[in-house]
Amino acid sequence: MAPDPVRDRWRAAMRLALEEAEQAARGGDVPVGAVVLSPDGTTVLAAGHNEREATGDPTAHAEVLALRRAAAKTGQWRLTGCTLVVTLEPCTMCAGALVQSRVDRVVYGARDEKAGAAGSLWDVVRDRRLNHRPEVIGDVLPDECARLLSDFFRAR
91 annotated ligand binder: yes
The number of C-alpha atoms within 13 Å of 93 and in the hemisphere containing its C-beta is 9
Catalytic residue chosen out of the listed positions 53, 63, 113, 144: 63
Amino acid found at 44:
V
Cα separation, 35 vs 2, in Å, equals 26
Is residue 89 annotated as part of the catalytic site, yes or no?
Answer: no
145 annotated ligand binder: no
Q: Check: CB of residue 15 under 8 Å from CB of residue 141.
A: yes
94 annotated ligand binder: yes
Binding residues: 61, 91, 94
For the annotated catalytic residues, the residue numbers are 63
Binding residues for Zn(2+): 61, 91, 94
